[in-house]
Amino acid sequence: MKTLKAFAALLLLSTGIARAQFTRAELQVSGLNCALCAKSTERSLRALPFVGDVKPDPAHNMYLIIFKDNQPVNFDLICKKMRDEGFFVDRLKATFNFANVKVAGNYFSAGGDTFQLMNGDDKPLNGEVAVTIVDKGFAPRSVTKKYSSQDNDAAATKSGRVYHVII
């Protein structure tokens, strides 16, 4: 019985650690040229199951996306929603809470995906830190090209989708 209690306590502790997550993101979109387009895009973002709130800034083609607690975030789905609406992601900068998250070899995991810090230099990270996704479809071509040459083959051994991010 003690073993079962210890296992349950360990499971709860590991669940708490797994809750470290992305809390919000700044999404800059190109191609918005009217309020109707901005409203339609906002509605599409709000429909995503992991999105808690969306605050648009139509003057700068930006959206502040607040993520729901304890929900894994799917950045590819955000990008797909923008493409489906006829727009392109110029920049996606997300804030991740590194409390209780281990960064090893410039990699960390969240929501079943792996994130490679392209300019991390094994820096210790703690608290909320903004990271910018530099993969194709999330950043301008010049930025994607700059960091694609630094891609590491070790990512092939990681689980889920591998995103490349910079601090």
Residue pLDDT, tens place only, 83-128: 998 889 999 999 999 988 888 888 888 888 999 999 877 677 888 9
DSSP string over 86-153: T-EEEEEEEEEE-TT---BTTEEEETTEEEEETT-TT----SEEEEEE-SBTTB-HHHHHHHHTT--G
Instruction: Count how many domains the chain has.
Output: 1
In a domain, 143, yes or no: yes
Going by C-alpha positions, the residue among 130, 141, 138 that lies closest to residue 164 is 138
**The overall pTM is greater than 0.75:** yes
Structural domain harbouring 67: 20-166
Residue pLDDT, tens place only, 18-33: 445 899 999 999 987 7
In a domain, 4, yes or no: no
Residue 128 confidence (pLDDT): 93
Average pLDDT of the segment spanning 143-152: 78
Average pLDDT of the segment spanning 62-83: 94
Going by C-alpha positions, the residue among 101, 100, 83 that lies closest to residue 92 is 83
DSSP string over 139-151: B-HHHHHHHHTT-
Residue 154 confidence (pLDDT): 56
In a domain, 43, yes or no: yes
In a domain, 8, yes or no: no
CATH of the domain at 91: 3.30.70.100
In a domain, 47, yes or no: yes
In a domain, 13, yes or no: no
